[in-house]
């Protein structure tokens, strides 16, 4: 529980020796578990694998970091550990300031509520207060280009409108640290460009960005630092273009 | 950078139910959402909150009150019955929904960190919102039969409500968390809820139990739901009786002095256990769901 000593005041995220095991549980019923206990715990009730092994990482405030790696390398797991959705099995994570995840935007949406209700619900889920949402509301609607549809139930939205609104709420939550997971592919091209402009604005405003994406050219244009994960370990950490090049070399092999 | 340096914190470490208070606004929105979507697409809408308990009441009244002739020994049996049904419904609805609340909100829990206690607590508030119209009907029926409660009886109603809510949250945390690991939990709760209606003097009167249980009657009285039902009878039903009728009935001995406080003790204990188990299990919710 202790705060690591060797970190500066300007660090935004610090991970120390993170290890995350996943249990592939086979059984979901009490009967099987009791039988297993009674038969002397023969065999393993579950299978385990390490999603992350011994990951240490410091991110300074205002840094823009791209987390790269192939599928299953542990990127999303690391992001979830930083956001607090998951807890590490070993090691520690510390963050400074409010952290908001643009993780799978729209997770907090409810189809039967209007856009307006969803803005409030989702804003509150992402940690905004009523006052903040009131103040941001018009800006959120404008950015999402939803207009008059804001009082329509979101189940009638096109998938583009839905994502635009969700993204718009997320970028308006104004945290110190942004965790972004595969959401840059939102909406049509003009909206995508707008998102990238917005994200660059956030970076320019000194926000810490932590981005996961498979769109390598895009993350290279948004981020300065790259971290390459493979099988749950950091194998490279440096300037983003060099890391992207290394990832391309490795995936070509 | 100009902004003050904030402390380093460990993400995802909650302080339990205390955090719910800090997220009042979100709690309020979650409750409002549930109420809005509960009867979506139905013609009667919120009226179902009246129709269902009234139907339940009619079934019991006809079967027990008329066929088994309970109304002969119990004056104003209809009021007696409805007062108990209203409270037990609040408990069964809260606990049933709280048990399912974690699994039902898995999409959110898997992606965003929130104090997970919010979900069971919000279901109890939603049930309270559905309790209100039933209480209005109950009060209406009581007034028609000459209800004149004392201030203490009205306060006791509020006390019994909080007692039931406290117990529902405690058990809801416990079974809601267990349900993530073993879906059997839902069925265990369904069974408990089936028993609850009969384990409290909703349909019958308490002296019948005392006659059978004798010296073990205190076990029956240790159930907080039983006490809450008896409080509801004391507050809603007994003030509707004429002096002659009131002479023929009595409330359980020591109800207000011993059993009401001890019921709060039991409920508080359940809440502490529920919270501890929930905290221990909630760490792994996101990966188990």
As for the ipTM of the complex, it is 0.83
- pTM recorded for the entire structure: 0.88
**Residue for token pair 């809820």:** B193
Q: CB distance B1–A3 less than 8 Å? A: no
Tell me the pLDDT of chain B averaged across its residues.
90
Contacts of B12 in chain A (CB under 8 A): 83-87
Q: What is the pLDDT of residue B72?
A: 84
Q: CB distance A94–B8 less than 8 Å? A: yes
Q: Which residue of A has its CA nearest to B2?
A: A206
Separation in Å, CA of B165 to nearest CA in chain A:
24
Instruction: Check residues B7 and A141 and name the one with the higher pLDDT.
Output: A141
Every domain of chain A and the residues it spans: 11-97+215-252, 104-175
Q: Which residue of B has its CA nearest to A110?
A: B33
Q: What is the pLDDT of residue A192?
A: 80
> What SS3 state is found at A228?
strand
Domain spanning A104-175, CATH architecture: Orthogonal Bundle (1.10)
pLDDT tens digits for range B44-87: 777 887 888 889 999 999 999 899 988 888 889 999 999 999 99
Give Cα B161 to chain centroid, integer Å: 7
Distance from C-alpha of A115 to C-alpha of A181, rounded to nearest angstrom? 23
Q: CB distance B11–A125 less than 8 Å? A: no
By 3-state DSSP, what share of chain B in percent is helix, strand and coil, each rounded to 5? Answer: 80, 0, 20
The answer to whether residues B92 and B134 touch, using CB atoms and an 8 Å cutoff, is: no
Q: How is residue A178 written in tokens? A: 């942004």
Separation in Å, CA of A253 to nearest CA in chain B:
32
Helices H, strands E: what count in chain B?
15, 1
Domain spanning A11-97+215-252, CATH architecture: 3-Layer(aba) Sandwich (3.40)
Q: What is the pLDDT of residue B237?
A: 93
Distance from C-alpha of B250 to C-alpha of B206, rounded to nearest angstrom? 9
Distance from C-alpha of A123 to C-alpha of A174, rounded to nearest angstrom? 11
pLDDT at B251 over 60: yes
Instruction: Check residues B166 and B48 and name the one with the higher pLDDT.
Output: B166
The answer to whether residues A199 and A66 touch, using CB atoms and an 8 Å cutoff, is: no
Query: What average pLDDT score do residues B11-36 get?
Result: 87
Contacts of A129 in chain B (CB under 8 A): 25
Q: What is the pLDDT of residue A44?
A: 64
Q: What is the pLDDT of residue A179?
A: 87
Q: What is the pLDDT of residue B77?
A: 92
Q: CB distance A62–B287 less than 8 Å? A: no
Q: What are phi and psi of B75, to 5 degrees?
A: -65, 150
Contacts of A182 in chain B (CB under 8 A): none
Query: What average pLDDT score do residues B108-127 get?
Result: 91
Q: Which residues of chain A have pLDDT under 50?
A: 1-2
Distance from C-alpha of B6 to C-alpha of A242, rounded to nearest angstrom? 33
Quote the percentage of chain B above a pLDDT of 90. Answer: 60
Q: What is the pLDDT of residue B266?
A: 96
């Amino acid at each position: 529980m202790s705060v690591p000593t060797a970190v500066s005041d300007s660090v935004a995220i610090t991970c120390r020796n993170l290890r995350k095991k996943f249990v592939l549980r086979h059984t979901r019923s009490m009967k099987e578990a009791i039988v297993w206990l009674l038969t002397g715990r023969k065999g393993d009730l579950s299978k385990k694998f390490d999603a992350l092994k011994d990951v240490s990482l410091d991110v300074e405030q205002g840094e823009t970091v791209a987390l790269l790696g192939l599928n299953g390398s542990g990127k999303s797991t690391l992001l979830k550990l930083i956001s607090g959705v998951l807890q590490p099995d070993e090691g520690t994570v510390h963050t400074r300031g409010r952290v908001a995840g643009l993780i799978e935007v729209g997770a907090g949406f409810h189809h039967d509520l209007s856009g307006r209700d969803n803005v409030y619900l989702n804003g509150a889920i992402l940690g905004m207060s009523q006052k903040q949402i009131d103040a941001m509301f018009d800006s959120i609607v404008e950015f999402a280009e939803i207009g008059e549809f804001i009082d329509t139930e979101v189940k009638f939205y096109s998938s583009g409108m839905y994502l635009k609104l969700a993204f718009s709420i997320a970028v308006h939550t104004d945290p110190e640290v942004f965790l972004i997971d595969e959401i840059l592919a939102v909406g049509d091209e003009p909206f995508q460009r707008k998102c990238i402009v917005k994200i660059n604005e956030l970076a320019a405003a000194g926000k810490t960005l932590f981005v996961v994406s498979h769109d390598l050219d895009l993350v290279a244009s948004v981020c300065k630092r790259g971290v390459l994960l493979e099988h749950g370990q950091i194998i490279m950490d440096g300037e983003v273009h060099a890391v992207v090049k290394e990832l391309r070399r490795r995936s070509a092999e | 950078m100009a902004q003050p340096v904030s402390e380093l914190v460990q993400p995802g470490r909650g302080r339990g139910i205390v955090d719910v208070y800090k997220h009042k606004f979100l709690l309020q929105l979650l409750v409002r959402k549930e109420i809005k979507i509960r009867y979506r697409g139905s013609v009667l809408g919120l009226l179902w909150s009246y129709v269902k308990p009234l139907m339940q009441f009619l079934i019991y009244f006809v079967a027990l009150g008329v066929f088994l002739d309970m109304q002969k020994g119990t004056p104003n049996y209809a009021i007696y019955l409805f007062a108990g049904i209203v409270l037990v419904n609040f408990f069964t609805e809260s606990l049933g929904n709280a048990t399912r609340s974690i699994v039902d909100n898995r999409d959110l829990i898997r992606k965003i960190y929130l104090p997970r206690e919010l979900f069971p607590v919000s279901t109890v508030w939603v049930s309270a919102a559905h309790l209100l119209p039933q209480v209005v009907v109950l009060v209406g029926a009581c007034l028609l039969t000459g209800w004149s409660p004392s201030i203490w009886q009205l306060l006791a109603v509020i006390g019994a409500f909080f007692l039931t809510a406290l117990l529902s949250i405690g058990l809801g945390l416990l079974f809601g968390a267990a349900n993530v690991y073993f879906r059997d939990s839902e069925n265990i709760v369904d069974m408990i809820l089936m028993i609850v209606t009969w384990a409290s003097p909703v349909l019958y009167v308490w002296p019948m139990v005392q006659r059978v249980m004798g010296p073990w009657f205190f076990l029956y009285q240790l159930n907080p739901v039983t006490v809450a039902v008896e409080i509801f009878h004391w507050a809603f039903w007994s003030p509707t009786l004429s002096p002659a009728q009131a002479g023929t009935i009595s409330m359980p001995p020591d109800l207000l002095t011993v059993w009401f406080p001890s019921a709060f003790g039991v409920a508080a204990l359940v809440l502490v256990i529920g919270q501890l188990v929930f905290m221990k299990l909630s760490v792994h919710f996101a990966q188990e769901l």
